[in-house]
Amino acid sequence: MTKGQILKHNFTKGSLRLYDTNGKQTYYENSTGFWWKQEYDTNSKRTYHEDSSGYWYKCKYDSNDKVIYFENSEGFVRHSIW
């Protein structure tokens, strides 16, 4: 069950968008049932993304905001700074 279904969102008035307390969009869903969700770290960097197609990725950052770890649902993993 999607968040739109749980909240009984009326998609004729537009897509469903949810935000965290920092104003970052954490969820999106449209009338076709496509959705994505995201998580952020304390520096507002995206650390996780997942969508209704099954694709996901997660990453970690160093103190200079450079990606030091990346992994996705397709099996790609990288452990170095880009």
pLDDT value at residue 81: 58
Q: Which residues contact 65 (CB under 8 A, 6 or more apart)?
A: 43, 45
Domain spans, the chain? 3-78
Per-residue pLDDT at 80 exceeds 80: no
At 21-34, the pLDDT tens digits run 999 999 999 999 99
62, 69, 73 from 47: Cα distances, Å? 12, 10, 14
pLDDT value at residue 24: 95
At 47-61, the pLDDT tens digits run 999 999 999 999 999
Per-residue pLDDT at 82 exceeds 90: no
CA dihedral 16, 20, 26, 31 (to 10 degrees): 0
Cα separation, 80 vs 36, whole angstroms: 27
